[in-house]
Structure 1
Amino acid sequence: MKAAPLLENHDAPLILLGGTLCNGRLWQPLIEQLNVAHYSCVTLSGGDSAHALATQLLEVLPPRFCLAGFSLGAMVALQMVALAPERISGLALLSVNPFSDLPENAVNRRMAVREARKAGMTRWLSENLWPKYVAPHRLDDAALHHTIMQMAEECGIEIFARQTEVAITRTDHRAALASFMAPMLILNGAHDAICTPQHHYALATAAPHARWITLPESGHFLPLEAPQRVAIAMRNWIQESIQ
């Protein structure tokens, strides 16, 4: 029997914020598992800072919504919590580093954009980030590699440049979670070399009421590596958020 759609006839749609070089393809396997009725997948492309992106989203989103963010999208989601916690009926953070970026990272981040522009997105990502994107046993997964590279090519170098500025200028908003009492879910992969288990421990420490789940066979790209397991956790979180 097909599960009844979540959020049907409800005024708190599910908003999904993608990460760097991610579009709706990131969430599609998860959406198919969740069977949600009202949702929107957001590509982070309209601003050069987390504050700008969060402000723009808050201007167009409904008064209440369930918010899930992946990687850079989770950083923007934390900014939204800091700005308007009363509008968020539930918060899910996937593969996130909650800290401010180190100032010395800016040079290398901007250099990466220049190198990707010169070499081409797929070649540069395959050589530099693909080994960190997924769990070791998925490195030879051609279909997964194709999906991630396809998203990157569809986003393009200019979006990559703007998203890089968002990462550089982001702010640590863990303090906002102390008074955020809506249902909160933290998901990470045990093999994530980009947003490590230690990053998620710091986040969970700041939000002791949150449910924290580590997927043992996954790396950074949880929604594509383990959509079924992510869906189980998020389905429970959604049900709590709309009660």
Structure 2
Amino acid sequence: MEPGCTESASGLPLVSPQPLSPAAASSALLARLVDVGAQHSRATRAAFARLNARLSTSPRPAVGGRAVETDAGGERLPEDSVTAPTAGETYLRGDDGARLAVSCLTPLKGPAAVGPPVVLAHGWGGSRRVWGSVADGLIRSGHTVLSYDLRGHGASTVGDDGITAEAMRADLATVLRYAGGAAVVAGHSGGGFAALAQAVADDPGACPVGLVLVATAAHGQETSEKEARMMGAPLFSRTLRRGGPGRLLLRQMTGKALHPRLREVNRELFAAIRPEVRAECFRSSRGMDLREALAAVRVPVEVLAGGADKIIAPRLGRETADAFPRARFTSLPGAGHLLPLEHPRPVSRAIEEVTRQAGGRLAGRLPPDTGEALEPR
């Protein structure tokens, strides 16, 4: 089977007890699309669509930043009885009313999760779908994984505050509280900006216990107004919607080894974002420099960069790693910007290592402010 074309366990449809209205069923079906649906034949994709259409059910309503948990009879459980998110899909309500689409996958291996849960934050122009292979590896290794669509992406709405760095940080905090408040966060590109901002925020109830920063940086993201306007331009959007021209337009995002079908996945995701959302995302990182604050962040940290990344220069990743008291930096030769699609296994390994160390700290096996030294790769 070709690379990137294996069936992902994390792509199985998830079922909950209440049926959806036709409109909500359509929205839920789109939210459930993961890489398996895009990487098989047309007949297979049609079969997945029919199956999801029949099995789609209503996401649990969100109250106060987390979903309402119910027992088998549909009765709401008391707040203090909820200890972990339930496997499935839900919507959380952000601070400004944004609807955040969240998927929770539980371990395939054994009844108990290994270490703290993992929260995956994708980059601008993507969706939860980019984490398909990474999430699959993690749940096969015994981890609980939550992924969510950034505001204005996938099945998540923009909210009253619009697209700002602070709003995206607050959204991640909402997901972290839903995950139990102590989770490892893996952030890719713009999702990494949110992870870094949350790591230095004064927010004890939603503080990451470990960080995996993938093709991202803590500074140096001064997108020009000309480039931001291009992201929202009608001609750019029309080109994105066309297969070949759209893939050509985004060719600098990936390394040369990425399978053509995964290039198409990237184009589909980027084209699905509203032009004004794309433009505002690229404006939102102006003036960001978190390096000084990162000196106080004492959690396990891994920073990964693509050696051929033309979107966020690898040196910015190294400088971000250097800003932490302790972090390991890894450059993947020849890799581009889309590491979750291009090289999911190294990303999964980094998450597993940080989760192992974070779990040791939480269990008292490692001192909270030191831990194990991470040797450079």
Q: TM-score range by the shorter chain?
A: 0.7 to 0.9
**34-43 or 200-209, larger mean C-alpha shift:** 34-43
Aligned with 2:336 (options 214, 219, 223): 219
Task: Give 2:148's aligned residue.
Answer: 42
Deviations 1:96-146 (A, max 9, x none): 13215337x12321223214234344566433332x1111343xx311111
C-alpha change, 1:211 and 1:34, in structure 2 (3 Å) is same
Is the CA contact (8 Å cut-off) linking 1:71 and 1:94 kept in structure 2? yes
- Partners of 2:348 and 2:338 in 1: CA distance: 14
C-alpha change, 1:122 and 1:41, in structure 2 (3 Å) is farther
Is the CA contact (8 Å cut-off) linking 1:65 and 1:90 kept in structure 2? yes
**AA of the residue aligned to 1:237:** V
Is the CA contact (8 Å cut-off) linking 2:231 and 2:278 kept in structure 1? no
- Which TM-score applies when normalising by structure 2? 0.57
**147-156 or 48-57, larger mean C-alpha shift:** 147-156
Whether 2:150 is the aligned partner of 1:33: answer: no
C-alpha change, 1:160 and 1:121, in structure 2 (3 Å) is farther
- Partners of 2:110 and 2:211 in 1: CA distance: 19
Task: Give 2:173's aligned residue.
Answer: 58
- Partners of 1:207 and 1:237 in 2: CA distance: 14
Task: Give 1:142's aligned residue.
Answer: 260
Whether 2:138 is the aligned partner of 1:20: answer: no
C-alpha change, 1:208 and 1:125, in structure 2 (3 Å) is farther
Task: Give 2:247's aligned residue.
Answer: 126
Is the CA contact (8 Å cut-off) linking 2:215 and 2:305 kept in structure 1? yes
Report percent identity of matched pairs. 23
Residue 57 (structure 1) shift: 3.0
Structure 1 unpaired stretches of 5+: none
Deviations 1:76-112 (A, max 9, x none): 1111112147521111110013215337x12321223
Which structure has more relative contact order (CA 8 Å, sep 6+)? It is 1
Matched position secondary structure for 2:282: helix
Deviations 1:143-174 (A, max 9, x none): 1111111222343434323423323x451111
Task: Give 2:226's aligned residue.
Answer: 107
Residue 42 (structure 1) shift: 2.2
Query: What is the root-mean-square deviation in Å for CA atoms of aligned residues?
Result: 2.6
Task: Give 2:90's aligned residue.
Answer: none
**AA of the residue aligned to 1:240:** Q
Residue 27 (structure 1) shift: 0.3
Matched position secondary structure for 2:345: helix
Residue 33 (structure 1) shift: 1.2
Residue 240 (structure 1) shift: 1.0
**AA of the residue aligned to 1:66:** V
**Counterparts of residues 202-213 of structure 1 (less than 5 Å):** 202-213=319-330
Whether 2:298 is the aligned partner of 1:181: answer: yes
Between structures 1 and 2, the one with greater helix share: 1
Matched position secondary structure for 1:145: helix
- Partners of 1:213 and 1:186 in 2: CA distance: 6
Structure 2 unpaired stretches of 5+: 1-106, 152-157, 361-377
Task: Give 1:231's aligned residue.
Answer: 348
- Partners of 1:108 and 1:146 in 2: CA distance: 23
Deviations 1:21-50 (A, max 9, x none): 111111001111121542221222234111
Matched position secondary structure for 2:184: strand
- Partners of 1:85 and 1:177 in 2: CA distance: 15
Whether 2:314 is the aligned partner of 1:197: answer: yes
Is the CA contact (8 Å cut-off) linking 1:78 and 1:174 kept in structure 2? no
C-alpha change, 1:170 and 1:125, in structure 2 (3 Å) is farther
Aligned residues between the structures: 236
